[in-house]
């Protein structure tokens, strides 16, 4: 969305005020939460349910690792937007050659299409579970809600709505954890002790792709402009602390919800030896084991996850398309309106073709994970470029940490491809 008008910006307190005034912190919270709802999407549900039901608590460490990686990467994306006043998409277009820009732009568009497949299919399933609607109608309702929220709402009102969605999803899963009563002594070590093999690498990669989502990196570099950062570099650096608070709180909340998804799946399905191969089956199986309230909360949370994440993914898509084409990101333009829903078309094809939606959800997250290096590498290059970042240039520690993160992603991708080719996945 366009953030140039006074109506869509938040004036931050002057940096000379010491400490972190609560009013200022609250006024800044928001951009990170838009990113967070993007990685609590239906694709996460599919991967987390699959991971929890098949491997119990073993893959909780992937959520922890992904969240730590995410805090670093999202902070760098936001800092790029603050330092340059431009989104990642625009910076790539201006910094790299035409062929490289085309390659990077093409891969992120494919990733956006995969994201939309997850959001709309998940939203459709949510409406089916809650209201009994057919999948195609549920997907249509999701798209209509998404378009209405993006086109008709002012940014900060939309931001408040999305934060509300996130709160509802979080409450639903907290209640579900209370209902299923997991074994905390058994699961606690899994948060930090890695455990993966050729049998679980595919799901581990899908979980990684579902948390560290490339379109969210582009989105954060753009929505950060909803706050005014002042004119001087000194003021921007001082106010950057508020961005760190926003990003950290939002990402930790995402870690809690994603972990809760795996914990509930492990406590309900793995504990009872139930193999789950669809979200619908997960809902139906949850009811007799954990009670009807758990089934209802599951459906409610999935609807809000589908609609909320489809909104943020469409915002990212519009930014990516307009940014790479060098066009203004203005919701009033025809290109922006088309960009909001153009990548939703493959989702409808999937739904109408009768393909296995659960496998599509998981595969879509693997696509995101495979695309990640094509987003991370240019982000690192841009953040280390003194001509672009000036005083905001990544220091050696941040840069080295980002290289390690990128190396982990690329290595896991290679392992995934090897396991798939050799039949291990």
Predicted pLDDT at 425: 47
Rg (CA), the chain: 20
Q: Are 322 and 328 in contact (CB under 8 A)?
A: yes
Q: Are 219 and 316 in contact (CB under 8 A)?
A: yes
CA neighbours closer than 13 Å in the CB half-sphere of residue 364: 33
**CB–CB of 74/216 below 8 Å?**
yes
Q: Domains in the chain: how many in total? A: 1
Q: Are 138 and 128 in contact (CB under 8 A)?
A: yes
Shortest CA distance to 305 belongs to which of 70, 130, 110, 72? 130
Plot region of 284 (φ>0 → left; ψ -120 to 50 → alpha; else → beta): alpha
In this structure, is residue 9 part of a structural domain?
A: no
| pTM listed for this prediction | 0.84
Q: Is residue 13 part of a domain?
A: no
Q: 357 lies in a domain?
A: yes
Pinpoint the alpha helices (H) of 132-232. Answer: 135-152, 155-180, 184-187, 201-211, 214-223
Rounded Cα–Cα distance for residues 120 and 143 (Å): 7
- Kindly state whether residue 155 falls inside one of the protein's structural domains: yes
Q: What is the pLDDT of residue 92?
A: 95
Q: For residue 6, is it within any domain?
A: no
The CA dihedral of 177, 249, 45, 412, to the nearest 10 degrees, is -120
CA distances from 141 to 27, 37, 122, 125, 243 (A): 32, 19, 12, 11, 34
Q: Is residue 288 part of a domain?
A: yes
CATH number of the domain within which 357 lies: 1.20.1740.10
Q: Which domain holds residue 183?
A: 19-421
Residue 11 phi, psi (nearest 5)? -80, 115
Q: Tell me, yes or no, whether 318 lies in a domain.
A: yes
pLDDT in tens, the chain (425 residues): 555 434 444 444 444 445 567 777 777 788 888 889 888 877 778 788 889 999 999 999 999 998 998 899 999 999 999 888 899 999 999 999 999 999 999 999 888 888 888 788 888 888 988 888 888 888 889 888 888 888 776 777 888 888 898 889 989 988 989 888 898 999 999 999 988 887 888 788 878 867 888 889 999 998 888 877 666 777 777 778 888 898 999 999 999 999 998 999 898 888 888 877 777 778 777 777 777 888 888 889 889 888 888 888 888 888 899 999 988 877 778 888 788 777 777 777 777 777 777 777 777 777 887 888 899 999 999 999 999 998 899 999 999 999 998 888 888 777 766 766 676 54
- Two tokens at 161? 């709505």
Pseudo-torsion of CA 233, 235, 236, 239, nearest 10°?
Answer: 160
pLDDT at residue 20, as a whole number? 63
In a domain? residue 11: no
């Amino acid at each position: 969305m366009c953030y140039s008008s006074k109506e869509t910006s938040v004036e931050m307190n002057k940096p000379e005020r010491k400490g972190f005034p609560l009013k200022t912190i609250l006024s800044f919270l928001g951009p990170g939460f838009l990113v967070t709802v993007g990685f609590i999407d239906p694709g996460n549900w599919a991967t987390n349910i699959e991971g929890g039901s098949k491997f119990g608590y073993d893959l909780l460490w992937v959520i922890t690792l992904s969240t730590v990686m995410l805090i670093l990467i999202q902070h760098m994306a936001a800092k790029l937007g603050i330092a340059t006043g431009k989104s990642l998409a625009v910076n790539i277009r201006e910094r790299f050659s035409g062929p490289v820009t085309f390659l990077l732009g093409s891969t992120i568009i494919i990733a956006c299409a995969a994201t939309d497949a997850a959001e709309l299919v998940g939203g459709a399933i949510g409406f089916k579970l809650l209201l009994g609607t057919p999948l195609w109608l549920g997907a249509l309702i999701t798209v209509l809600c998404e378009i209405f929220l993006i086109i008709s709402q002012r940014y900060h009102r939309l931001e408040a709505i999305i934060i509300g969605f996130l709160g509802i999803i979080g409450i639903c899963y907290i209640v579900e954890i209370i209902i299923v009563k997991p074994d905390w002594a058994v699961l606690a070590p899994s948060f930090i002790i890695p455990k993966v093999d050729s049998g679980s690498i595919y799901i581990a990669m899908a979980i990684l792709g579902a948390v560290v989502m490339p379109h969210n990196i582009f989105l954060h570099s753009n929505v950060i402009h909803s706050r005014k950062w002042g004119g001087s570099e000194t003021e921007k650096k001082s106010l950057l602390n508020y961005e760190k608070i926003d990003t950290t709180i939002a990402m930790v909340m995402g870690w809690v919800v994603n972990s809760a998804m795996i914990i509930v799946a492990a406590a309900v399905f793995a504990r009872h030896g139930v193999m789950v191969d669809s979200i619908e089956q997960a809902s139906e199986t949850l009811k007799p084991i954990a009670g009807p309230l758990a089934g209802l909360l599951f459906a409610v949370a999935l609807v809000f996850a589908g609609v909320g994440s489809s909104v943020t993914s469409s915002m990212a898509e519009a930014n990516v398309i307009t940014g790479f084409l060098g066009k203004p990101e203005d919701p009033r333009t025809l290109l922006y309106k088309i960009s909001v829903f153009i990548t939703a078309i493959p989702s409808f094809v999937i739904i109408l073709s009768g393909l296995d939606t659960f496998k599509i959800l998981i595969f879509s997250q693997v696509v995101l994970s495979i695309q990640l290096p094509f987003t991370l590498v240019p982000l690192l290059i841009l953040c280390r470029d003194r001509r672009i970042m000036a005083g905001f240039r990544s220091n050696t520690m941040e840069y080295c940490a980002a290289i390690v993160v990128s190396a982990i992603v690329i290595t896991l991708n290679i392992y995934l491809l090897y396991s798939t080719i050799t039949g291990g996945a």
